[in-house]
Chain A
């Protein structure tokens, strides 16, 4: 069994540590709360000579991602981190990174988008760019934030993927809380992620290539996008394979979805990030009272594991999908995906959608209890599924 060190650390420190162990050639970053301590600690690693990364301080997030795109196209292993307004400011460059098939790894410290201004946990930032063509992984804990960063490096650079990966952790809740976690030694991580050998690199002057050419009318834009879609679909297999290999190495299970009590659950909550822990805590208490409840955590949002989710939920009598962001459509982003995943089933699973915790609103256990209670009413036929609800607003 691999020896690992048990530490008391914040999620951000562990992300910085994982990045140091993956040893990117280039990091270009701009600080923004609550991401700041990731890039601050990484800058210290560089200043102390603990990692040989070219650290590019830039004047904005737009420039940060632009520098990452350039460095990655040149053939470097590249990482960065941001959140909220910073992620929004990167917008057009996110599409360019994905379209150029550049395996950049970026941490996102999930934070609300203004207005009104708010620095706390919310998934609106990442959900806004869910169609940009990046892979998106979510962490529940500081441990998962560390693990996801290491796995993301392997996944992004996999020849069948070659797409950027965003690894998300909940702002303040996970980024700034000190939690117990295990870290691997540098050699083990180095061995797991391997050395990055870029293909089609700009700096390979013996084999000159150009990136991002004009592909207008009559060009190959349409075919490019189809290949992008194929790569995203194929990435699910790679995420599972890399996750299984990492689980074997670390002793910590990984699933694109992770269920608790789902084997015989009659009702369940589907959610993302740190809230999954609160939901499991309440579910355990209800189980002790004989209620057949479960929790399904979605750890990989892009590619979306629709078939896995449909298989996990198909027998249930009522399911609640919790969204920590708005889409202003027919439900939150996770709800829309889950409902779509269930559409082709022969049986209809009653679904209900809750928008919760926006702008860091505390996810009190009493709120989770209320959701399970509503589900129990729906399962018993005493209430109808349906309309979107805001959970815990005054």
Chain B
């Protein structure tokens, strides 16, 4: 059977979820995997709740529907937990990764997810403010996701990050993003 991993991203428009969905897919391609990345389009306005999707597979992906039963759910904005059912359809052994200062055990209990479902928490916004100097939590939260799930290769991800950032910014910005990724990977807690 082909090994298919499906990721659903929840964010507010402007937080970089669509970019993250894309960069993760591109990283998978660099390892000769098959991939898809797609945003769910609706009215476009900054701050509105949005979803994006990434599929990664070792064989060609033929399906084009929305992801209903994600293996991994990434939440870039904690305030969405009150208004969106982020765990909807999450696989029985799925992993939820949230941008929050709260400890993973407390968040897991509050969400009431099953014991076998993992909840990983990281202060991606805080890390982004410290390193990149802006609240763009997408890069650090991907670092945490890689640490917790191993869905893509960390060095390949950093390589692509450097390449993409290098087109617009200097080495300083690349270093800041690397620091954000490394710190998130170290600081993420899992329950």
By a beta-carbon cutoff of 8 Å, the part of chain A in contact with chain B is 6, 8, 34, 119-120, 170, 172-174, 176-180, 274-275, 277-278, 280-281, 362-365
Indicate if the CB atoms of A176 and B65 lie closer than 8 Å. Answer: no
CA distance in complex: A275, B25 (Å): 22
Indicate if the CB atoms of A119 and B35 lie closer than 8 Å. Answer: no
- Whether a CB of chain A sits under 8 angstroms from the CB of B38 is yes
CA distance in complex: A300, B65 (Å): 23
Query: Size of chain B's interface in residues, with CB distance under 8 A?
Result: 18
Indicate if the CB atoms of A278 and B38 lie closer than 8 Å. Answer: no
In whole Å, how far is B149's beta carbon from the nearest beta carbon of chain A? 20
CB neighbours of B130 from chain A (8 A): none
CA distance in complex: A278, B65 (Å): 7
CB neighbours of A363 from chain B (8 A): 64-65
Return the chain A residue nearest B1 by Cβ: A288
Indicate if the CB atoms of A180 and B38 lie closer than 8 Å. Answer: no
The 9 lowest CB-CB distance pairs between A and B, nearest first, are: A277-B62, A177-B38, A178-B37, A274-B64, A8-B26, A8-B29, A281-B62, A281-B63, A362-B66
CA distance in complex: A170, B66 (Å): 14
Indicate if the CB atoms of B62 and A179 lie closer than 8 Å. Answer: no
- Kindly supply a per-residue 1/0 record for chain B positions 31-69, scoring 1 wherever the CB is within 8 Å of any chain A CB and 0 otherwise: 000111111010000000000000000001011111010
Indicate if the CB atoms of A179 and B36 lie closer than 8 Å. Answer: yes
Indicate if the CB atoms of B65 and A8 lie closer than 8 Å. Answer: no
CA distance in complex: A150, B80 (Å): 44
CA distance in complex: A338, B64 (Å): 24
**Which of these, B35, B65, B66, B68, contacts A178 with CB under 8 Å?**
B35
CA distance in complex: A180, B37 (Å): 10
- Whether a CB of chain A sits under 8 angstroms from the CB of B22 is yes
**Which residue, A173, A178, A274, A280, has most C-beta atoms of chain B within 10 A?**
A178
In whole Å, how far is A115's beta carbon from the nearest beta carbon of chain B? 17
CB neighbours of A170 from chain B (8 A): 64
CA distance in complex: A386, B66 (Å): 30
Indicate if the CB atoms of A178 and B64 lie closer than 8 Å. Answer: no
Indicate if the CB atoms of A177 and B65 lie closer than 8 Å. Answer: no
CB neighbours of A119 from chain B (8 A): 41
Instruction: Given contacts A176-B41, A277-B62, list 9 more A-B pairs with CB under 8 A.
Output: A8-B35, A8-B37, A178-B25, A178-B37, A179-B36, A180-B29, A274-B64, A281-B63, A362-B66
In whole Å, how far is B41's beta carbon from the nearest beta carbon of chain A? 6
In whole Å, how far is A352's beta carbon from the nearest beta carbon of chain B? 22
Return the chain B residue nearest A120 by Cβ: B41
CA distance in complex: A177, B29 (Å): 14
Indicate if the CB atoms of B65 and A174 lie closer than 8 Å. Answer: no
**Which of these, A6, A8, A120, A174, contacts B64 with CB under 8 Å?**
A174
CA distance in complex: A281, B62 (Å): 6
CA distance in complex: A172, B40 (Å): 8
CB neighbours of B62 from chain A (8 A): 277-278, 280-281
